[in-house]
Amino acid sequence: MDAAGLTALLAPEGWALLSALPPYDEKLAMPLSERMRAEGLDPVLVAAALTQSRLRARAHDKLGDFADGMLLTQAGLEQATRLEVAAHHARRYRDAGLAHVADLTCGIGADSMALAAIGLRVTACEVDEMTAAIATVNLRHFPEATVRHEDGLATDLDGVDGIYADPARRTSSGARLFDPAAYAPPLDAVLALRSRVPALGLKLGPGVPHAALPADAHTQWVSVDGDVVEAGLWFGPLAPEGPGRSALVLVGGQGHVVSGSTDHPDARPLGAYLYEPDGAVIRAGLVGRTAAEVRGGLVDPTIAYVTSDELHPVPTATAYRVLDDLPFGLKRLRSYLRERGVGKLTIKKRGTAVVPEQLRRQLDLSGDATGTIVLTRIAGQQRVLVVEPV
| CATH classification number, 77-257, choose in 3.40.190.10, 3.40.50.150, 3.30.470.10, 3.40.50.2020 | 3.40.50.150
Within 8 A by CB and 6+ apart from 9, the residues are 1, 15, 18, 45, 48, 49, 52, 71
Q: CA-CA distance, 169 to 370, in Å (whole number)? A: 40
**Three-class HEC string of 174-195:** CCECCCHHHCECCHHHHHHHHH
Average pLDDT, the chain: 94
- Domain extent listing, the chain: 3-72, 77-257, 273-389
Q: What per-residue confidence (pLDDT) applies to 127?
A: 95
Q: Tens digit of pLDDT for each residue in 117-164?
A: 999 999 999 999 999 999 999 999 999 999 999 999 999 999 999 999
Q: What per-residue confidence (pLDDT) applies to 373?
A: 97
Say yes or no to pLDDT of 180 above 90.
no
| Mean pLDDT value of segment 312-328 | 96
Q: Tens digit of pLDDT for each residue in 343-377?
A: 999 999 999 999 999 999 999 999 999 999 999 99
Q: What per-residue confidence (pLDDT) applies to 342?
A: 96
Q: Tens digit of pLDDT for each residue in 249-304?
A: 999 889 999 998 877 889 999 999 999 999 999 999 999 999 999 999 999 999 99
Helix extents (H) in 166-271: 187-191
DSSP state letters, 78-99: HHSPPHHHHHHHHHHHHHTT--
